[in-house]
Structure 1
Amino acid sequence: MSKAILSFVCFILLSNQVLANELLVISGKNSKNSKKWQEEVYQEFIPSGVGRISVKIVTIEADKFPKWITQAMKEERMGEILGTPTFIIWDEVSKKELGRLEGYTEKSRFYSQLDQAILQISQGHRPGRREGSGGHQEEGSGGNQRQEEGSGGMSQDIMDHIYKTPEEAKRASEMLGLGGQIHSHETPQGIIYMPGSTM
C-alpha cells in the first residue's frame, strides 16, 4: 500500500514539474509543415493529458536563430535544430531542453507523441534524441543533417529508415506511430531492421 502511495506522490511531483515547462516551437518562416501545425494545432491547442504545458513559437529564417537559442545550443543545454518545425520541451527553471519532437504530419499523431514525450520525461527519460538512427524527419524521429528551411521535412529515401538493431527500429516505429512493428531484411552486410510491418 505504501509503495502505491509513494509512486502516486512521485508521479504528481513529476507531473507538476511539467507544469512549469514550455513547448518551444521552432517554426521555419517558409516551412509548410510549420504553417500546417499552426493552422491545425496552435489555434486550438489542447493541454497535454499528462500535464499542462504552455506554447511559445520562435520563428526562424534559414539557420538564423535568436541569440538565446544559439547560446543554449553552444552550451549544450539544447540540441541542434536540424529542421522545422521542431518542438522542444523546455525547462524554464534550468533553461534546458528536456525532450523534443521533430517534424509535423498530423494533429492526432502530434498530440499522441507529445503526451508520450511528457510521460517519458516524468519517468526520467529524454525523448526524441535517437543517435545513429538515420536522417528521417517525422515527429520524434531525430535526424543527423540540418534540413533546408521549408523543405517539407520528410525524407523520401528508404535508406533513412534502416537500423542496425531491432531496438532502434522498434523505437522508430513507435515514434512514427506504427505501433512498434518492425521487419528485417538480410543483406550481404548483415541483417537490417526497419519500422513497420513487412511489405
Structure 2
Amino acid sequence: MKKLILVSIIFCFMLISSKGFGHELLVLSGEKSQNSKRWEKEVLPEYKANNSGQNLPVKIVPVKGNFFPDWFAKVLDDGNVGEIIGTPTFLIWDPKEKKEVGRIEGYTQKSRFFSQLTEAIDLVKQGQHPGKREGSGGHRDEGSGSDQHMEEGSRGDHRMDEGSGGHREEGSGNKNNIMDHIYKTPEEAKKASQMLGLGGEIHTHETADGTIYMPGSTM
C-alpha cells in the first residue's frame, strides 16, 4: 500500500512538472530487450491513460537488432541525439528544434522510472541536459571498442556497423570515463563501480548481443 501511495505521489508531481512542457518522450525499445518489454507492460498503459501522456506524449522508436528507423538514424547523423548504448533509452525530445534535450537510460521498476522522469523534466526546465552523452554514434554493442557509425541498411532502416577493437578492460584509457567500463558480468561491473567510487552500484542495458553491465546508477 505504501509503495502504491508513493508511486501516486511521484506520478502527480510529474504531472505538475510536465504541464505545458511542449516536448515528447521518445522510447527506444529493443525488439529483444526484456526491460523494454517490461516497461511497455508495466508503465505504458498507465502513462497513456494519464494527463502526462498528453503533456509529454510518448512515441515508441523500435530498434530491431542493429537497425534504427531512417528518421532516427538521420538525427543521430546530424548530431541531434547523443550516443545510444542500449535499450530501453528514454529521450526527452524537443519537436521544434528536433533534438534531444534530456534522457534516462535503462529501466528497473515503475516508481524509479517516474522519479527519474520527474527529475529529468525539472533539470530540462532549468536549462540543463540530464543524462547527456556526446557524439552521434550508434548503439554500442558489447565487444565493439570504437564508436559505431550509421550506414543505410536494408528494408529502409539504417544499420549500426560495429567498430574495430575489443572490450576495454579496467585501466585502459581514462579510468574515470564510465564508457570505458562495459562488462559481460555483474561481478566485473560491481568491481569497477567500487574502483570508480560509485559504491558498487551497477545497471544493465539490453543490446542486440545480449545484456551488458555498467558501473553506476542509470542516471
Native 8 Å contact 1:134 1:160 kept in 2: no
Q: Which position in structure 1 is the counterpart of 2:66?
A: 63
Native 8 Å contact 1:86 1:101 kept in 2: yes
Q: Which position in structure 2 is the counterpart of 1:43?
A: 45
Q: Which position in structure 2 is the counterpart of 1:97?
A: 100
CA 1:79–1:195 in 2, change beyond 3 Å: closer, same or farther? closer
Q: Which position in structure 2 is the counterpart of 1:26?
A: 28
Q: Which position in structure 2 is the counterpart of 1:191?
A: none
CA shift at 1:162, angstroms? 4.8
Deviations 1:58-90 (A, max 9, x none): 111122001111111111100121100000000
Native 8 Å contact 1:117 1:127 kept in 2: yes
Matched letter for residue 85 of structure 1: P
SS state of the match for residue 45, structure 2? helix
Native 8 Å contact 1:134 1:162 kept in 2: no
Give the TM-score taking structure 1 as reference length.
0.61
Q: Name the CA distance, whole Å, in 1 between partners of 2:122 and 2:71.
A: 27
Q: Name the CA distance, whole Å, in 2 between partners of 1:26 and 1:160.
A: 27
Q: Give 1:157-196 correspondences, 5 Å limit.
A: 157-162=189-194, 169=198
Q: Name the CA distance, whole Å, in 2 between partners of 1:38 and 1:63.
A: 20
CA 1:95–1:134 in 2, change beyond 3 Å: closer, same or farther? same
Matched letter for residue 190 of structure 2: I
Q: Percent identity of the aligned residues?
A: 40
Native 8 Å contact 1:133 1:163 kept in 2: no
SS state of the match for residue 43, structure 1? helix
Unaligned runs of 5+ in 1: 1-13, 136-142, 177-193
CA shift at 1:155, angstroms? 4.9
SS state of the match for residue 129, structure 1? coil
Native 8 Å contact 2:92 2:102 kept in 1: yes
Q: Which position in structure 1 is the counterpart of 2:154?
A: none
CA 1:121–1:28 in 2, change beyond 3 Å: closer, same or farther? same
Q: Name the CA distance, whole Å, in 2 between partners of 1:124 and 1:44.
A: 28
Q: Name the CA distance, whole Å, in 2 between partners of 1:33 and 1:158.
A: 20
CA shift at 1:161, angstroms? 2.3
CA 1:116–1:108 in 2, change beyond 3 Å: closer, same or farther? same
Native 8 Å contact 1:84 1:103 kept in 2: yes
Q: Which position in structure 2 is the counterpart of 1:112?
A: 115
Give the TM-score taking structure 2 as reference length.
0.56
Native 8 Å contact 2:181 2:192 kept in 1: no
Unaligned runs of 5+ in 2: 1-16, 135-175, 204-214
Q: Name the CA distance, whole Å, in 1 between partners of 2:133 and 2:195.
A: 11
CA shift at 1:29, angstroms? 0.6
Native 8 Å contact 2:93 2:99 kept in 1: yes
Q: Which position in structure 1 is the counterpart of 2:76?
A: 73
Matched letter for residue 42 of structure 2: E
Matched letter for residue 31 of structure 1: S
CA shift at 1:123, angstroms? 0.4
CA 1:17–1:93 in 2, change beyond 3 Å: closer, same or farther? farther
